[in-house]
């Protein structure tokens, strides 16, 4: 049920999109941008490239009428996604070449991605493995992750290692049906 890539990769257009996002989205130049800004601009350019495919996939009648698996977990250790997604889309080598021509190593840029860290243990790894398996088998699958704090509002949390101790900090919090970003 995997749809074909709708839009072919155009290296020159991708590179221009990255440079456009450096200036328009992150208010910096090619010469002064940090590695983090290059990574974020690359991510925006990739989003432009893949959004059309996403919309086409969601409009596909085979997808609309398919049953899906819904996975609910208190933890979900998915790890960093950008490199994995590039491999899954068959774009890793092309993006590596495009970024190299712009003077940046893709492996180094991917180190700028923050790990979602939604949990801290075996259940999170199990959930991630389960989702990867579903994706490999092309099963439509949606994962929902949440924790509950003492005031009973639903949260997505992050695990922070401080002096060899784990602490949890709220990243996204649902309050009266709206998402609030917190650190």
How far apart are alpha carbons 47 and 44 in whole angstroms? 5
Q: What is the per-residue pLDDT for 58?
A: 78
CB 69 within 8 A of CB 141: yes
Q: How many residues does the chain have?
A: 183
How far apart are alpha carbons 170 and 149 in whole angstroms? 9
pLDDT in tens, 166-180: 444 444 444 444 444
Q: C-alpha 183: how far from its chain's center? A: 19
Q: What is the per-residue pLDDT for 149?
A: 38
CB 110 within 8 A of CB 80: yes
Residues 6+ apart with CB under 8 A from 90: 5
How far apart are alpha carbons 94 and 119 in whole angstroms? 33
Phi, psi of 117 (to 5 degrees): 45, 55
Query: Angle between the 35-59 and 11-24 helix axes, to the nearest 10 degrees?
Result: 120
pLDDT in tens, 127-147: 778 877 887 787 777 777 665
Question: Per-residue confidence of the chain (183 residues) as pLDDT tens digits?
Answer: 455 555 688 999 999 999 999 999 999 999 999 999 999 999 999 998 888 777 887 788 887 887 877 777 766 666 778 898 888 788 999 999 999 999 999 999 999 988 766 555 667 777 778 877 887 787 777 777 665 433 333 344 444 444 444 444 444 444 444 444 443
Tokens 């900090």: give the residue: 169
Q: What is the per-residue pLDDT for 140?
A: 76
Please name the helix (run of DSSP H) or strand (run of DSSP E) that holds residue 45, with its range, or none. Answer: helix 35-59
> What sign for the dihedral angle of Cα 18, 19, 20, 23?
positive
* pTM: predicted TM-score of the whole model, two decimal places: 0.66
């Amino acid at each position: 049920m995997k749809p074909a890539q709708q839009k072919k990769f155009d290296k020159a257009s991708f590179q221009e999109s990255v440079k456009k996002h450096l200036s328009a989205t992150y208010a910096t130049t090619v010469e002064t941008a940090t590695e983090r800004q290059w990574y974020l601009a690359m991510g925006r350019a990739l989003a432009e490239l893949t959004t059309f495919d996403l919309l086409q996939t969601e409009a596909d009648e085979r997808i609309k009428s398919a049953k899906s698996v819904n996975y609910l977990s208190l933890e979900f250790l998915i790890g960093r996604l950008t490199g994995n997604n590039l491999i899954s889309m068959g774009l890793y080598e092309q993006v590596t070449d495009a970024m190299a021509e712009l003077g940046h190593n893709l492996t180094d840029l991917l180190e700028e991605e923050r790990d979602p860290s939604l949990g801290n243990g075996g259940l999170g790894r199990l959930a991630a493995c389960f989702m990867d398996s579903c994706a490999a088998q092309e099963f439509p699958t949606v994962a929902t992750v949440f924790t509950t704090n003492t005031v009973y509002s639903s949260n997505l949390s992050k695990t922070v290692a401080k002096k060899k101790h784990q602490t949890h900090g709220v990243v996204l919090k649902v309050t009266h049906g709206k998402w609030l970003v917190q650190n």
